[in-house]
Amino acid sequence: MRHFLEVDDLTVEELQHVLELSIKPDLPKVLDGQGVALIFEKPSGRTRNSMEMATVQLGGHPMYIKPEELGIDSRETAEDVVRVMAGYHSVLAARVFDHDRLERMAAADAMPIVNLLSDRAHPMQALADLLTIEQEIGLSRVGKVAYVGDANNVWRSLAIGCSMLGIETSVASPAGHEPTDLDLDRVLTSGGSVQVTDNPREAVEGADVVYTDVWTSMGQENERSERLDVFSPFTVDASLMGVASASSIFMHCLPAHRGEEVTDEVIESPQSRVFPQAHNRMHSARGLLSWIIGETTNHGQ
Ligand code: CP
Ligand code: NVA
């Protein structure tokens, strides 16, 4: 039984294989007649649509389930939910507030669990990010991937994914929102190098990719005004892009808070790849689902 709660749940070879599957035309319909349960405790545009369409493209039936219908840990335990869903669906994918809930679901060991974003990680996003870097620059050619802003779920998965593929990264965050030692250990264990700074220009200097995400993630809305203050020197604007490599690209997982973490000018510039990146969510979701079903089938579960 394999799960995908963070990018390093895959080996390097498996990560490369998932990225290859993501661009393969005419993948076998491995989900023929099967269901994929999609649970969202928070809103979603890209993740829900890309997962639903990837499921359909593999011959399966996506089922969107509102959290209040399941009542995870109120109506019944997370473990019981998974053991019941395993009778109807081949994969359970969930967007949750608390990453521990996903770990408990995986520990029930009844069906493959996929993380659609938690407070800690956003590995499905990182797959699309790596696919975009491969298409736009080449994973073997890319130099530094710079991340500016909150060292959050999106940063964590991106940094781990890059590190696994030997890609150098940098991260510039304000004090209090920088990577923890535990984060850095996990990124470095994956094999790569990471430059940590509180100076965005230092992080972006010579970078091939400049990446940012919102300063206030879902669930942190009550910290918004304080965060706006602390993060204000971390906006990715044209002047900051000016210190990156001349051929650099701009990336963002979206949704963007224009005028906060990125200016209109940068997100609308020819360097911006945010829409191909968003579209890649469907292709990488297809790759991941193909792989996880292959693993389940090949191991006779
Ligand atoms: N990038 C991302 O996960 O977008 P949604 O929150 O719209 O799914
Ligand atoms: N860091 C953001 C990502 C949204 C896709 C959040 O967790 O809300």
Cα–ligand 1 centroid distance for 301 (angstroms): 31
Q: What is the pLDDT of residues 52-93, one digit of tens each?
A: 999 999 999 999 999 899 999 999 999 999 999 999 999 999
Domains and CATH numbers, the chain: 7-122+280-297 (3.40.50.1370), 125-278 (3.40.50.1370)
191 — pLDDT class (breaks 50, 70, 90): confident
Q: What is the pLDDT of residues 143-167, one digit of tens each?
A: 999 999 999 999 999 999 999 999 9
Instruction: Identify which of 44, 99, 117 to mutate to test ligand 2's pocket (most ligand atoms within 8 A of the CB).
Output: 117
Instruction: Identify which of 50, 214, 223, 281 to mutate to test ligand 2's pocket (most ligand atoms within 8 A of the CB).
Output: 214
65-97 per-residue burial string, b: 16 or more CB within 10 A, e: under 16: bebeebebeeeeebbebbbebbeebbbbbbbbe
Active site residue 122: yes
Active site residue 125: yes
The DSSP 8-state label assigned to residue 146 in this structure reads E
Tokens of 149: 């802003």
Q: Which residues contact 300 (CB under 8 A, 6 or more apart)?
A: none
Please count the CA atoms within 13 angstroms of the CA of 247 that sit on its side-chain side: 8
Active site residue 213: yes
pTM above 0.85, yes or no: yes
Please count the CA atoms within 13 angstroms of the CA of 274 that sit on its side-chain side: 20
Cβ of 153 below 6 Å from ligand 2? yes
Cα–ligand 1 centroid distance for 216 (angstroms): 14
